[in-house]
Structure 1
Amino acid sequence: MAFSLNSYPVTYRAKYAGKAWTEEYLEKPHKTPAEEAALGADAANALSAARNFYTDMPLVGYTTQYGLSCFEGLKALPQKDGGLAIFRPDRNAARFNRSMTGLFMPGFPEDSFVKACVETVRQNARLGFRPPYQASWEKDSFMTADSIYIRPFTYAEGGIGVNISREPWVIIVTTPVSSYFSDGKSEAVVTERIRATPKGTGWIKAASNYVISALAKHEAADVGFMECVFLDATHRKYVEEGSSCNIFFRLKSGELVTPALGDTILPGITRSSIIELAKDRGVQVSERQIAIDEVFAEAVECFVSGTAAGATPIESLTHQGKKAVFNNGKVGELTAELRDTLKGIQYGTLPDTKGWMTPVL
């Protein structure tokens, strides 16, 4: 399934005007979950399309014409005890606010963001739109588990000239989601494309940033790779991140390295969580530049992290025709431990001692 455009029926929408936000919850067309599951392809597509259109919003505007928008991605996860909880929404709220102000939009209040995410998930769950917890997910460390993907994003007011958005909408939709990466080999390749440049918007979760990522990942997939990895724009030798995820390397010395944050790297929430979990285990974690040559000479494990990716092992990395294979192509010990701990907290099989999970039900 991975991502699905078949969004759940209840959507949140807020509009900035007159120096204040007004908000509403919209219940889009729907049937019961069982009735929707039984629909034929044409009827299901029609229902999905009806939920995805808003006839009272402008077609021509700074978002559709110039890509002026930012978004977030976070998950609500079924809990082993039958509940439903969102992973670290406060961190997404803070990043969303920074992204909006970084694009010279009015910032969206962080407490409103968290409340809206929780309430949107809750209202849909009460209509029956939520995945049930399945014990079978535990067998593969939740790598194929279902969850609810929460997508908050901005949409600009009407406009045709190059300009900033002063009265944007904030919309929150939720969709079912499963494993982001497909089964099979988890090989990656270094792309020649440049994701972000100094003094640009790489640190913002801007919609426009993902055009290059989508192209690079498509090119990688066309030649048989699961993922692509970007190098820095200036020196073309330092690893920065994957197509839509941060990246980690465990070196022969035991050091766990992830590229240092700057204006070309997105400050991932899963990234910071992984760093904290690794430090809890006494692992030396370094946030610093790491050259592709150092990766090939010293790295024994590699994984990418993100809301969709979780902590996904990378078995090999190819660069200029050369291939580095990590841990003989198998999941590394530290990678597995961090992945299992993160997923255990998220799905409620391990205690949430850090207060990362915000309950919905």
Structure 2
Amino acid sequence: MAFALSSYPVTYRAKYAGKVWTEEYLEKPHKTPAEEAAMGADAANALADSRNFYTDMPLVGYTTQYGLSCFEGLKALPQKDGGLAIFRPDRNAVRFNKSMIGLYMPGFPEDAFVRACVETVKRNVQLGFKLQYKAEWEKDSFMTADSIYIRPFTYAEGGIGVNISYEPWVVIVTTPVSSYFSAGKSEAVVTERIRATPKGTGWIKASSNYVISALAKHEAADAGFMECVFLDATHRKYVEEGSSCNIFFYLKSGELVTPELGDTILPGITRSSIIELAQDRGVKVSERQIAIDEVFAEAKECFVSGTAAGATPIESLSYKGKKAVFNDGKVGELTAEIRDTLKGIQYGSLPDTKGWMTRVV
């Protein structure tokens, strides 16, 4: 399943016009989940395609012509008690609002964002589109567990000239997903490409940012690596991010380091959660610049973080013909503790003492 587009039938849409947001829930073509599961590939693809079209939205506009859009990614996760809950939607709401304002769009109200995410998932559940918790997921710390991916995004009004969006749509779709990274080796490589530049949009979850990421990750995959890692644009020596995730290094000194936030690094919700979990364990966490040379000399564990990645260990990092292998290529103790705690809270196998989970059903 991974990240395949198999959207659930109920989607959310809001339009900004006359200085107000007008909301609606759209029920796209569907059958029962059992009937859809029994469909042949051609019929299933045709049904999926029919859910992915909105004939009343413009083809030519600032989103399709110039990539003027921003988005979010968050998950609704099956709970051990049989329910369903979303991980920290309030934080995604804050970031989405800031991203829109950063692109000079009207901001989307944070309470409306959370309400719409919950209600979209709930309406699909009422139609039977719901994932069930599986005890077998616990065996590999939920690394292959399923979840419902929630994708809110903006879509600009029609236009052909270079411009900003004054009356955008906000759309929310949901789709079932499994593990983001494929099983096997978790080797990474430093890419020569530049993800973000100072005074740019690196801190915004802008759609256009991910063009470079997609190219760099494709090149890394062609070279046999699972992931790519970006260095800073100015000095070309400080580690910044992975292709679509933040990154952490656990040093021999006992310090856990993640690159400090600025206008070139996305403020990840999973990133901030991991910082809190590590500090709860008495680990010294530093948000600072970390040079690639320091990584090669001092890092004993490495992992990437994000909504899709969770906390995924990186076994090695290659750079200019050299390779740093972390913890002899095995999952490190701290990495495993953080991953297991984070996933346990998300899937309800551990108590949510942080108040991070918003219940759907």
TMscore range, shorter length: over 0.9
In the alignment, what sits opposite 1:124?
A: 124
The runs of at least 4 consecutive aligned structure 1 residues that moved more than 2 Å come to: none
In 2: Cα distance, 1:130 partner to 1:257 partner: 38
SS in 1 for 2:99: helix
Please give the residue correspondences for 1:11-30 in structure 2 after superposition, counting only pairs within 5 Å: 11-30=11-30
In the alignment, what sits opposite 2:154?
A: 154
In the alignment, what sits opposite 1:42?
A: 42
Question: What does the per-residue CA deviation read over 1:144-183, in whole Å, with 9 as the maximum and x for residues that have no partner?
Answer: 0000000000000000000000000000000000000001
In 2: Cα distance, 1:127 partner to 1:333 partner: 42
In the alignment, what sits opposite 2:9?
A: 9
Q: Aligned partner of 1:115: which letter?
A: R
Question: What does the per-residue CA deviation read over 1:124-152, in whole Å, with 9 as the maximum and x for residues that have no partner?
Answer: 01111111100000000000000000000
In 2: Cα distance, 1:4 partner to 1:19 partner: 36
CA displacement at 1:116 relative to structure 2:
0.1
In the alignment, what sits opposite 1:308?
A: 308
Question: What does the per-residue CA deviation read over 1:81-102, in whole Å, with 9 as the maximum and x for residues that have no partner?
Answer: 0000000000000000000000
CA displacement at 1:253 relative to structure 2:
0.4
SS in 2 for 1:34: helix
Please give the residue correspondences for 1:292-331 in structure 2 after superposition, counting only pairs within 5 Å: 292-331=292-331
In 2: Cα distance, 1:127 partner to 1:3 partner: 22
Is the counterpart of residue 136 in structure 1 residue 136 in structure 2? Answer: yes
In 2: Cα distance, 1:4 partner to 1:114 partner: 24
Q: TM-score, normalising length from structure 1?
A: 1.00
CA displacement at 1:62 relative to structure 2:
0.2
Question: What does the per-residue CA deviation read over 1:233-289, in whole Å, with 9 as the maximum and x for residues that have no partner?
Answer: 000000000000000000000100000000000000000000000000000000000
SS in 1 for 2:15: strand
Please give the residue correspondences for 1:79-228 in structure 2 after superposition, counting only pairs within 5 Å: 79-228=79-228
CA displacement at 1:30 relative to structure 2:
0.2
CA displacement at 1:346 relative to structure 2:
0.2
In the alignment, what sits opposite 1:64?
A: 64
In the alignment, what sits opposite 1:280?
A: 280
In 2: Cα distance, 1:295 partner to 1:240 partner: 12
Please give the residue correspondences for 1:261-272 in structure 2 after superposition, counting only pairs within 5 Å: 261-272=261-272
Q: Aligned partner of 2:140: which letter?
A: D
Q: Which runs of 5+ in 2 are unaligned?
A: none
CA RMSD in angstroms comes to 0.3
In 2: Cα distance, 1:123 partner to 1:57 partner: 23
In 1: Cα distance, 2:346 partner to 2:126 partner: 21
In the alignment, what sits opposite 2:348?
A: 348
SS in 2 for 1:81: coil
In 1: Cα distance, 2:277 partner to 2:102 partner: 29
In 2: Cα distance, 1:125 partner to 1:249 partner: 39
Q: Aligned partner of 2:299: which letter?
A: A
SS in 2 for 1:250: strand
**How many residues are paired up?**
361
Question: What does the per-residue CA deviation read over 1:309-352, in whole Å, with 9 as the maximum and x for residues that have no partner?
Answer: 00000000000000000000000000000000000000001000
CA displacement at 1:18 relative to structure 2:
0.1
CA displacement at 1:109 relative to structure 2:
0.1
Q: Aligned partner of 1:133: which letter?
A: Y
Q: Aligned partner of 1:291: which letter?
A: A
In 2: Cα distance, 1:73 partner to 1:67 partner: 17
In 1: Cα distance, 2:6 partner to 2:132 partner: 17
Q: Aligned partner of 2:8: which letter?
A: Y
Q: Which runs of 5+ in 1 are unaligned?
A: none
Q: Aligned partner of 1:17: which letter?
A: A
